[in-house]
Amino acid sequence: MPASPQKNELGSLRWRDLLQFAGGSLRGHGLRTALSLLGVMIGVSAVVILTALGEGARRYVIEQFAGLGTNLVIVLPGKTETTGTIGIGGVPNDLTLDDALAIERQVRSVRKVAPVTAGTEEVSSGDRRRQMPILGTTRAYIEVRDLRMERGEFLPDEEMFRGGAELVLGNKAARELFGADDPIGTIIRVGDWRFRVIGVLAQQGTNLGINFDDVAIVPVRTGMRMLNRSSLFRVLAQVRAHSDLEIAKRSILDLITERHEEEDITILTQDAVVSTFSQILDTLTLVVGAIAAISLSVAGIGIMNVMLVSVSERTREIGLLKAIGASGPQILAAFLVEATFISAAGGLLGLAVGWSAVALLVQVYPALPASPPVWAVAAAFGLSVAVGTIFGFLPARRATRLDPVTALSRR
């Protein structure tokens, strides 16, 4: 019975010696160890950075569509299955103000309707002039798109067929045309048309390609005449409740199909668009992460080469360990600890480099909310450790199979 504690103590010493043996190998091959660390680090950091970009793109798209407003149904002229591109060419019938009015009056689930026409014109005030986007719409647009005013008021609440001469400027457009002066009440020219400025939008930024800081908004009927448009760019319909989105979509499609005598419009909902883009970008994130993870296999081959060299150069030491009683599993574990240490340390360095690169990217491009998903971080680190262990197993098993007499006799 007294021999048992002595045996346990001897076993404990052997494990410590084997760990020191593994550490000595890493220190003795510093350059090769550093290169293996670098390979793992690059692989892990690539996974972190690329998945962060994919996740950032997904969040950006969701934020952009959320900025459209709430509970929106978007009606566009043209059917994608027959025309190929939404709202461009091949449209059998125009999407008109009469159609917008019919949606507002006949679709019960719709609360507000905002017809939109769009184009570009030269806007001038005195000696200052510049090209800028022109939106023609109605007062409902400010509620549907959840816009804010800095001063003055939005378009008057009048019937959409009335062609008024009121104009609302974006924040940046007002500054560049009027400087520090108050533009409210000023007469400006848009092309050959004269308008009175009645309001300035608060700073809004860009949403889905429209920079609301650099835009001029006029009544929709006037906008169609000025821009020589016969068809609306789109119709935005805000439904009363989120649960009404699909009902409103079906009702609008049936109504316009009946009016046009064919199905020649495309109807989108926020949920459908966000869901589609989210699925696409999730898949893209997974794919680019998998591509980046392939580089970890290359790093694993590097670890295996380092371990094979370590086994060949330390044959006599392995033989001595076996001669004094080290078991095969203990030697196997010593070499696996060595390989796992390289991969784990490289994985941690890769995470640090990846996070730092993502943080720098967000500082440079704050509009892109890049952040690596938790699953990608965990998978990258777990894969790096697994790669080291798997690729280190073959050299480690080779070490355990050495005959101690033969190993000691090698020079």
pLDDT, one tens digit for every residue, the chain (411 residues): 444 443 443 344 355 655 666 666 666 666 777 777 788 888 888 888 888 888 887 777 777 666 655 688 889 888 765 444 444 444 567 899 999 999 999 999 999 999 999 999 999 988 888 899 999 999 999 988 888 999 999 998 877 888 889 999 999 999 999 988 899 999 999 988 999 999 999 988 777 667 889 999 999 999 999 999 989 999 999 988 878 888 898 999 999 999 998 888 888 887 776 677 677 777 777 777 777 667 677 767 777 766 666 666 666 666 666 666 666 677 777 777 777 787 888 889 989 998 999 989 888 888 778 888 888 888 888 888 887 777 777 666 666 666 555 545 555
Residue 44 within a domain: yes
Residue 120 within a domain: yes
Q: Residue 187 forms beta bridges with which residues?
A: 196
- Which residue segment(s) compose the domain that 348 sits in? 13-64+276-409
Q: How far apart are the C-alpha atoms of 139 and 148, rounded to whole Å?
A: 12
Closest CA to 303 of 335, 259, 268, 348: 335
Residue 239 within a domain: yes
Residue 76 within a domain: no
Residue 70 within a domain: no
Q: Are residues 54 and 114 in the same domain?
A: no
Q: Are residues 238 and 125 in the same domain?
A: yes
Is pTM, for the whole model, over 0.95?
no
Contact 201, 145 (CB under 8 A): no
Q: Residue 218 forms beta bridges with which residues?
A: 136
Q: What is the H or E stretch that residue 269 is in?
A: strand 265-269
Q: Are residues 238 and 280 in the same domain?
A: no
SS3 192: coil
Backbone CA torsion sign across 232, 234, 240, 245: positive
Q: Are residues 283 and 156 in the same domain?
A: no
Q: Are residues 21 and 121 in the same domain?
A: no
Residue 281 within a domain: yes
